[in-house]
Chain A
Amino acid sequence: NAGVTQTPKFRILKIGQSMTLQCTQDMNHNYMYWYRQDPGMGLKLIYYSVGAGITDKGEVPNGYNVSRSTTEDFPLRLELAAPSQTSVYFCASNPGRRTYNEQFFGPGTRLTVL
């Protein structure tokens, strides 16, 4: 079991460029999440998904898009990158509704927009 994997680990973008952060989990979890962590801060939810084909906005969705075509994958798309999107991005998964299991986190992607 690899758990939650994220690629890439690091990336530097220029302002206006686009990229996709990849996230895959092999635990057959229904729920998946994307968070961002700004320096010295806690994590904030960007988007989440409760199953394939179903996504919804979190606390800070502006500037991002997601899709969920399979249970395993939940990519995060950045369009027109801005310096304010410089952050560490975490993907997480959870078995599903009405469980108290913790969220399982990936190792994070450090993104810098210059």
Chain B
Amino acid sequence: AQTVTQSQPEMSVQEAETVTLSCTYDTSESDYYLFWYKQPPSRQMILVIRQEAYKQQNATENRFSVNFQKAAKSFSLKISDSQLGDAAMYFCAYMGPYNNDMRFGAGTRLTVKP
């Protein structure tokens, strides 16, 4: 079964600095999708960024970018110019090719210090 591991339960960053959240996963599939979701105290799950496994180019969304290493099964999230509003739980997620099972990591709680 596919598993997703986030090894950093908590991370802290100074406002305007850069932070990287780690994620590794295990799968035997070659075609799959990876996501980072943000969950603020409101509990709403908000998509931050997504990556298709067949694309070698790392995805970027404004201040958010990923480092996707397919051979290493690693999918880290880099947040540049951190803002107070970035403080939240961040979940890494894996979805197989048939859209019927999304696996989540345990999450990383990000604190942003002013």
Contact = CB atoms under 8 A, between A and B. Distances in A.
Interface stretch (B69-77, B78-86, B93-101): B93-101
B44 A105 contact: yes
Interface residues of A, number: 28
Contacts of A103: 95, 102
Nearest to A49: B100
Interface stretch (A14-22, A35-43, A61-69, A70-78): A35-43
B100 to A, nearest CB: 6
Contact of B107 (A42, A88, A98, A99): A42
A50 B70 CA distance: 28
Interface in A58-106: 58-59, 88, 90, 92, 94, 96-100, 102-103, 105
Contacts of B93: 42
Interface size class of B (residues with CB under 8 A): 20 to 34
B101 A88 contact: no
Given A105-B44, A107-B44, A108-B43, A50 B35 contact: no
B16 interface: no
B100 A31 contact: yes
A94 B50 contact: no
A56 interface: yes
B99 A94 contact: yes
B101 A48 contact: yes
Contacts of B107: 40-42
B67 to A, nearest CB: 19
Interface of A: 31, 33, 40-45, 48, 50, 56, 58-59, 88, 90, 92, 94, 96-100, 102-103, 105, 107-108, 110
Interface of B: 4, 33, 35, 42-45, 47, 50, 52, 91, 93, 95, 97-107
6 contacts: A31-B100, A42-B107, A45-B103, A48-B101, A90-B45, A108-B44
